[in-house]
Amino acid sequence: QVQLVQSGPEVKKPGASVKVSCKASGYTFTSHGISWVRQAPGQGLEWMGWISGNNGDTDYAQRVQDRMTLSTDTSTGTAFMELRSLRSDDAAVYYCARGGSGSSYYFDYWGQGTLVTVSS
Amino acid sequence: ENVLTQSPGTLSLSPGERATLSCRASQSVNANYLAWYQQKPGQTPRLLIYGASSRATGIPDRFSGSGSGTDFTLTISRLEPEDSAVYYCHQYGSSRGTFGQGTKVEIK
């Protein structure tokens, strides 16, 4: 069965960086892209970025495109999200979600979420 | 950016009643690439509908989606207690997808 398993919660200071992993299993990693979606406490869902599982193409939301880097390790079927220069409003649960081969796709499987806390 | 506006903000209904949730886009959604997700407290979002009207695997047929262009609807035909959740629409017709702000469904 398809599973996306994310790394554990993180506590970071403002200005620091965080890197979250998302290990995929149960499907051919290179046939699907991975998107990252975040949810601030008590708020809705916000799409942050997408990476192709095949060729590493990426697309980022405008508000984080200068601070976020998405990457993959196809040998292990793992996607990574790095966010730099953390601010208090980056505090959220970050989800990875499986999409299609292109960036325009719905999300049929989701990771369990990784809570990122930003606090001095 | 294609902004999605959901209404109402909260819907309070009794078991067995019909729930109608609206999602309106600021621009036409390319190819009706519109999905709906259900999120219960403390849980991960679950895909209900994609392509505006196709039910995802394992989703009960009391959930249905309709609409095209800029106006889309999620209908829950006969509410059950476990349908209490927040429902989000998501347009993926543009490469940078966007979500609506959510509609909370409460079961009386």
The tens digit of pLDDT for each residue in A31-86 reads 999 999 999 999 999 999 999 999 989 999 999 999 999 999 999 999 999 999 99
What pLDDT is attached to residue A12? 97
- The model's confidence at residue A102, banded by pLDDT at 50, 70 and 90, is confident
Q: Which of B92, B94, B101 sits opposite A106 (nearest CB)?
A: B92
Mutate to test the interface with A, among B5, B59, B96, B99 (most CBs of A within 10 A): B96
Nearest C-alpha in A relative to B36: A106
Determine the pLDDT at residue B17.
97
CB B74 within 8 A of CB B7: no
Mean pLDDT of A100-108: 87
pLDDT, residue B44, reads: 97
pLDDT of residue A104: 83
Cis omega (within 30 of 0) on the bond before B41?
A: no
Integer Cα distance of B18 and A116 in angstroms: 38
Chain B contact for A61, CB < 8 A? yes
Q: Which of A94, A96, A84 minimizes the C-alpha distance to A12?
A: A84
Average pLDDT over residues A8-20: 98
pLDDT (tens digit per residue) in B50-102: 999 999 999 999 999 999 999 999 999 999 999 999 999 999 998 789 999 99
Q: What is the CA radius of gyration of chain A?
A: 13
- A22: which 2 tokens? 């998302």
Average pLDDT, chain A: 95
CB pairs under 8 A between A and B: 65
Q: Answer whether A107 sits within 8 Å of B35, measured CB to CB.
A: yes
pLDDT at A103: 78
Q: How far apart are CA B101 and CA B87, in angstroms?
A: 9
Interface test with B, best of A39, A101, A106, A114 (most B CBs within 10 A): A106
Mean pLDDT value across residues B26-43: 96
pLDDT > 90 fraction of chain A, expressed in percent and rounded: 95
Q: What is the mean pLDDT of residues B14-33?
A: 96
